[in-house]
Amino acid sequence: MAAGAAVGAAGTVGASTRPASAHIPLRREERRVIVIGSGFGGGVASLRLTRAGVPVTLLERGKRWVTGPDADTFPRVSSLDERALWHESMPEIFGRPLFETPHTGLLESVVGENMTVMNAAGLGGGSLAYQGMSLEPSAEVFASELPEELDREWMHRVHYRRVERMLKLRTAPDALVSSDNYKAARVFARKALAAGYDIEKIPMPIDWSYALRELRGEMKATYTNGDAALGVNNGGKHSVDVTYIRAAEATGLLEVRTLHNVTGIARTRSGAWEVRAQRTDTTGRVLEEVVYTTPTLIMGAGSTGTTRLLLKSAARGEITDLPEALGSNWGTNADRIYTWTSLFDDFGPVQGGPVVYGSKAWEDPATANTVIQASLPPLMAGGDPSKKSWGPTTTMLVGYGVSKDRGEFRYDAEKDDAILHWPKNGDRESAARIHARVKKIAGFASFLGDTTAMSPSTWHPLGGASMGTVCDLEGRVLGQKGLYVLDGALLPGTAAACNPSMTIAAVAERAMDKIVAHDVGRLV
């Protein structure tokens, strides 16, 4: 996370990319169902519809990242290259691009007023780059932050457990945690307990046998040296592309179209949905334009992508009568990222990851927050990451909590884009609570670097097309037959003091149960 934020820069989602030539071929196609985006919401929707016998075409702007033992698919923090950045997020140094060749890379940053949002690009969406902390809110915090009508008890028994099985969630084995590479995790656990806080192992979508094999020297280090911040090269991470989407492809009814950047959506006079996409190569060069027509459109482009596409369509008059609340109720999930430097605690020269332990403070739903320790990746100019790292005294702490502060996306006609507006002191109360806990855990002779305070950002954007104001609980956009939102945009700005991934997926699973039962054959 910290590594990704360091390479992030301004970018534009859904904007026209570089043309291949003065004449770009145009193709038109009809499809039964179009899903835009392949993260947790898009992956769940694709699987449940195809298993119900419905053909689905999945459009993803990024590429397919294929991993396996000793693969070099993802960029490494130790030797960054163009694969790290979405081509429209490429920063410049002295007027020249950071990397010579643009690429449909992993991370895109969207800069708004007082807030930068980090998004992932690629088949699997945010699951490619997230650390993987998979937490379910307690009943009390869930009830405080999310609609009662979702029926948390039903979701707990059915939908969260389904997600747990699909992602094959496991905690790190003791044999791994006791190794020299995981000294930082053990120090965090000891210090948190000494500060009076409970700790527990965090469920992760990881086959930990890969990390154990790394320790035995059977493959290059990725987990055990913390070099998984920009994707896990060795495999063993149960991201959406190798779980939900792979299962959907196995039905024979899912058509995956990567490198298809959706630039606009509209409603036709007949009531169908028109999706305009640019098929690109891996440099972002446009090869052709494709216009899809479909009776059913599912938005799964993430909080930022979905909200901006819908707001632009409304402003252009391409979709009329969208709910007035579109763009509002947007939150950061109260994200905080710290560097923790200690004069006396030895975190080890190499830090295994991604995450082992976390500490929950959920007793009071109004102040609930979570703090976890995450590995810092190797940082060096080049060469063998095992020979150099951040050093033995610094590691990373990550927090998220509940916050009532909200921002909104508003359309800017001059830029023809929806721009995020976030209050200057947003999340201040939640940040103070998390900081107090982090400071107590770190203890004497420690220095904390609050990277979120220095450069306000979030990896967990939520809201913009929230349930209850823009959509119903199943993601049906109010007043728009055949249009659904099933991603982070649907959540009301918070995931109740948890990493949002598991709740986004569980809400999508719940929604698809209802959609398959009531809409397939009638609306879908």
Q: Is 12 within a domain? A: no
pLDDT-based confidence at 7, cuts 50/70/90?
A: very low
What proportion of the chain, given as a percentage, has pLDDT over 70?
92
Q: Is 15 within a domain? A: no
Q: Give the type of residue at 70.
A: D
CA angle (217, 220, 224) in 5-degree steps: 80
Q: What are phi and psi of 278, to 5 degrees?
A: -110, 120
Q: Is 524 within a domain? A: no
Quote the pLDDT of residue 382: 32
Model-level pTM? 0.94
Quote the pLDDT of residue 93: 56
Of 276, 298, 347, nearest in space to 14 by CA: 276
Q: Is 4 within a domain? A: no
Distance CA(365)–CA(384), nearest Å, equals 46
Q: Is 6 within a domain? A: no
Q: Is 155 helix (H, G, I), strand (E, B) or coil?
A: helix
pLDDT-based confidence at 1, cuts 50/70/90?
A: low
Task: Give the domain range for residue 281.
Answer: 26-519
User: Which tokens sit at 349?
Assistant: 């020269």
Whether residue 8 has pLDDT greater than 50: no
Domains contained in the chain, number: 1
Of 504, 110, 145, nearest in space to 307 by CA: 110
Q: Is 434 within a domain? A: yes
* DSSP E strands, 282-439: 286-294, 296-299, 336-342, 355-361, 369-374, 394-401, 408-412, 417-421
Tell me the per-residue pLDDT of 278-298, one tens digit each, with 9 for 90 and over: 999 999 999 999 999 999 999
pLDDT-based confidence at 94, cuts 50/70/90?
A: low
Q: Is 8 within a domain? A: no
Quote the pLDDT of residue 22: 63
**CATH number, domain containing residue 429:** 3.50.50.60
- Helices 183-194 and 428-442: crossing angle in degrees, nearest 10, is 100
Tell me the per-residue pLDDT of 363-415, one tens digit each, with 9 for 90 and over: 999 999 999 999 988 663 233 445 544 445 799 999 999 999 999 999 999 99
Q: Lowest-pLDDT range, 21-30, 104-113, 124-133?
A: 21-30
Q: Is 367 within a domain? A: yes
